[in-house]
Amino acid sequence: MPELKYEIVEACGVLSESSRGWTKELNLISWNDREARFDLREWSPNRDRMGKGITLSKEEAKMLRDLLNEAKL
């Protein structure tokens, strides 16, 4: 399996932290030298391992923001 290359362009924020020290984060990440996308996933304390996550384009992130703003939370 080829190595996954990524660069955290901007750390947007931490949503939560587990008892194991992993943090659920929203970041702007460039995967394999592509255009940066919003990324939501868990990271190990030193960011050498990651959990499964989702990536969103800028347009998808705006749509998610709008949907959350309309939700009755």
Domains of the chain: 6-70 (2.30.31.70)
The model's pTM: 0.87
Is the separation of the CB atoms in 5 and 31 below 8 Å?
yes
What's the confidence (pLDDT) of residue 59? 97
Q: Tell me how far apart the alpha carbons of residues 71 and 68 are, in angstroms, rounded to a whole number.
A: 5
The residues facing 63 across adjacent strands are: none
Closest CA to 6 of 25, 41, 26, 34: 34
Give pLDDT tens digits for 58-71.
999 999 999 999 99
Confidence of residue 46 (pLDDT cuts 50, 70, 90): very high
